[in-house]
Amino acid sequence: MKYAVIGTGAIGGLFGGMLARNGYEVHFLFHSDYNDVKKNGFTINSKLGNFTLKDIKAYNTTDAMPQCDVVLVSTKTVCEDEVPNMIKPILKLDSTVVLVQNGINMERFVAGKLPYSVSIAGGIVFATATKTAPAEITHTNSGAIKVGLYRGKDDKLTEFCNDVNSTGLKAELTNDLNTERWKKLVCNVPMNGLSAVMGANTKEIVTNAESRRLAYNIMLEVIDTAIANGAKLTRAYADEVMSITENMEPCMPSMYGDLIHHKPMEIQYIYTEVVKSAKAKSVSVPNIETLKKNLLSAVTLM
């Protein structure tokens, strides 16, 4: 299969880079790093081994890319409106688009803008990878992805999982994309937002009594909303997420980095869509609404 990676940041770069390293045909879309990649290649420092892709298939526009079987979209959701038109030049009639993004309802939006013959899936990633220099990422922890079909056929998803598993990373299919999306949000909603407004890492958030209590209450609000929207979760999942966060290496979630670097934050699909989903089911989410307002205020002060 031919793969395309749209948004070659830390996560897209990790999965696409590992596939390319292991001999799979991968075409990468770069923006600010394009010239660096063409000159020096693309470097991945990973616990699975460090390497540089010298002969990388790099592009700065999708118009120059070939049509691909599987398109991994790992852009930030701040530009979701641009995704359908951006990827149309590289789609076959039966391509599969995997939205490797954080949030809820992206699949519904993108699916509504693409031909019905194109399969749409979601990808939920569990990995610690960061961009540490131009055309360079560092992968320090985990490296797993769950993919679930939103519409269409899952044959290419099965092959994608097999290919990823052959690289040393982990991939598995889920038949419940909705639950997996909400499970990731149980962590993302409190940790991303609180890190940005507090300037604190994940360890600091869960070890301070006040912020820990707030994070926990936000988790419960996400879970209540998820359950009301058909996710197979219980409130006990908040304790599981809190325990995992306590025992993992401290990290600064991406929203904090976006704020301090004056970049747009992923408020729409991580917060606004969650609040809309809660209101549609008459679920009260006062803490999430307050956090969203604080994030919007922080944006106006940038």
DSSP letter string over 70-99? EEEE-S-GGGGGGHHHHHGGGEEEEEEEEE
2, 146, 156, 184: the catalytic one is: 184
Q: Other C-beta atoms within 10 Å of 115: how many?
A: 11
Instruction: For residue 118, give the DSSP letter.
Output: S
Residue among 142, 136, 147 at smallest CA distance from 169: 142
* Whether 292 is catalytic: no
What is the Cα–Cα distance from 130 to 136, expressed in whole angstroms? Answer: 9
- For residue 171, the one-letter residue type is A
184, two tokens: 């990731």
Give the bridge partners for 155, in sequence order: none
3-class DSSP state of 136: strand
48, two tokens: 């699975």
Crossing angle of helices 237-247 and 177-198, in 10° steps, is: 50
Q: Other C-beta atoms within 10 Å of 55: how many?
A: 7
Backbone angles phi, psi at 242, to 5 degrees: -60, -40
What is the Cα–Cα distance from 277 to 225, expressed in whole angstroms? Answer: 7
45, two tokens: 């420092």
Catalytic residues: 184
